[in-house]
Chains A and B, each alone.
Chain A
Amino acid sequence: MKKNNKNASQTQALLPVVLIAASVGILVSGAFVQGSVWPLAFGSAALLLCALAIHEMSKKRQLVLQAEIEALSSTVNELSKTDTEKVELIQLADTWVPTLNSQLSTANSQMEMGIVNLAEAFSEIHSKLNDTVNVAAGAAHVLGNTSGGGNGLADHVAQSLNGMLSSIRNSFDEKATIMQEVKGFISSTEELAKMAASVENLAARTNLLALNAAIEAARAGEDGRGFSIVADEVRKLSMLSAETGVKIRERVQLIASAAKKAGDGAARMESSDEKVLSQASETLSGVVEQFEQVTVPLHQASEQIIANTNQVSSSLNNAVVHFQFQDRVSQILGHVQDSLSQMKGQLNTGLETLNVAALMHELERKYTMAEERVNHSGKGSTNAATKPDASSDELTFF
């Protein structure tokens, strides 16, 4: 097929030459046939052949021109494409890169704002939890000894009530001692009554003696007058002594009667005191038991609150570690933004100044994290490169 096309092309190229040669031949032949119609015929044929030759030549020229136009058109298209690329690069630098930067910046600031708000909320929760722990710990301390696991408040109340009971018992014991004293006093009043009776007896006898003395003084006449006065005075004194003895006896009887009543009352109370103490002790045990029924669950609830709150607090602490990812993401985005800005600067000064190696070098220089370097080298697996360290645990003291 190709061979046929080649032959046809060669034939096509030789055709005008053959046609011109033929027309010349016809004209020359016509010159030899003078004086007839043949020269006209030969001339016409030659002209026709020439026309055909010119037509072929024009056609060939047209094909050449068409090829040139196509080549020119292609060149123009190429040139136009380069210009388009330039325009696109300028647009890339002026619009696409800044737009990307803006989007990154917005995403970064929105993420930071979100994390800041979350951190604030967590901080508030953390603070409230601490308050709760303090309150619960205070309540647990009051309700019971958390370290010993005892029921502190109930024990304290029981101790107080037992102390009170003990005070009452002591008071009763003191009362019993006083009653013994009163009994001793009652027996003393009996002796006092006897002594009062002796005084009365002595007074009666003294009175009788004074009366006899007065009689004897009267018998003595004038000589016994002085003695009669003395006897009279003695009699008066004996009468006074007798009256005093009566008064003492009456008072002693009153006191003895009161003391006896008190002693009888105390004796009655003594038996009831034991009953009172026994009942009080039982009541107290009941109260303490009921109190424990209330305070023990409260104490356990307080300890549960403390345990749960500590657990939540621990979870919050873990969350704190994860909040730090925002700082890392922000740094990575910042480095990407800086690199984009650097590329924009290079593109603005022309495509020929675009230096990818310099961009990569500058980007690498700014890295602060291991995962950035792993990503840059392209050696890390996707997981290793995208997964930040949970916590580096790296702390160096100088």
Chain B
Amino acid sequence: MSKTVLIVDDSTSLRQVVSMTLKSQGFDVVEGCDGKDALTKLDGRKISLIVSDLNMPNMDGLTFVREVKKMAAYKFVPIIMLTTESDDKLKSEGQAAGLKAWMVKPFKPEQMIAAVNKLVA
């Protein structure tokens, strides 16, 4: 049975690019257009990993991560922050919020695949 990855980004094209990369590796994909929307997409669904953007309308990535970590069913789901930001202060905030990895856009598909495989293994 294939594993499901939740992709959270306000850019439709970016969601598609991540989705295409992960689907080629046999992953199922669920998409959310911001943190708030992504929380509704969880909805008891079995999720193996989350890839989230940082700067999004309605609910930003860090707030979303903190919300996910409060949920008993999802608190151990690994989360990768995929963002154009590479500021160390933000990375530290992300680590404190419970992130497993920080990936700077634009990403290389093989790099994304390796990171996802490492975290869902």
**A107 within 8 Å of B by Cβ?**
no
How far does the alpha carbon of A327 sit from the alpha carbon of B104 in the complex, in Å?
A: 13
Report how many residues on chain B are interfacial, defined by Cβ distance under 8 Å.
Answer: 36
What class of interface size applies to chain A in its complex with B? 35 or more
**Contacting pair A328 B21 (CB below 8 A):** no
How far does the alpha carbon of A120 sit from the alpha carbon of B13 in the complex, in Å?
A: 9
Contacts A392-B86, A395-B101, A395-B115 given; does A323 touch B13 at CB 8 Å:
yes
Name B97's closest neighbour in chain A (CB-CB): A398
How far does the alpha carbon of A122 sit from the alpha carbon of B109 in the complex, in Å?
A: 14
**Contacting pair A368 B84 (CB below 8 A):** yes
**A39 within 8 Å of B by Cβ?**
no
**Contacting pair A328 B95 (CB below 8 A):** no
| Cβ–Cβ < 8 Å partners of B109 in chain A | 317, 320-321
**B11 within 8 Å of A by Cβ?**
yes
Interface residue from B13, B91, B94, B107 paired with A321 (Cβ < 8 Å): B107
Q: Say how far A173's CB is from chain B's closest CB, in angstroms.
A: 54
**Contacting pair B106 A325 (CB below 8 A):** yes
Interface residues of B (CB under 8 A from A): 9, 11-14, 16-17, 19-21, 23-24, 54-55, 83-86, 91, 94-95, 99-111, 115, 118
How far does the alpha carbon of A317 sit from the alpha carbon of B110 in the complex, in Å?
A: 8
Enumerate the 8 nearest inter-chain pairs by beta-carbon distance, A residue then B residue, closest first. Answer: A324-B106, A394-B104, A119-B16, A115-B13, A392-B104, A123-B20, A317-B109, A327-B11
How far does the alpha carbon of A390 sit from the alpha carbon of B54 in the complex, in Å?
A: 20
Q: Say how far A122's CB is from chain B's closest CB, in angstroms.
A: 7
**Contacting pair A324 B55 (CB below 8 A):** no
Q: Can you give 22 contacting A-B residue pairs, CB < 8 Å? A: A115-B13, A116-B12, A116-B13, A119-B20, A123-B19, A317-B108, A321-B107, A322-B106, A326-B11, A327-B14, A328-B106, A368-B83, A368-B85, A391-B107, A392-B106, A394-B102, A394-B104, A395-B115, A396-B101, A396-B102, A398-B99, A398-B100
**Contacting pair A368 B13 (CB below 8 A):** no
**A393 within 8 Å of B by Cβ?**
yes
Which one of B91, B103, B104 has the highest number of Cβ atoms from chain A below 10 Å of its Cβ?
B104
**Contacting pair B101 A324 (CB below 8 A):** no
Contacts A123-B19, A398-B99 given; does A321 touch B24 at CB 8 Å:
no
- Given A119-B17, A396-B103, 16 more contacts at CB 8 Å? A123-B19, A322-B106, A323-B17, A326-B13, A327-B9, A327-B13, A328-B106, A390-B106, A392-B86, A392-B104, A392-B105, A392-B107, A394-B102, A395-B115, A397-B100, A398-B95
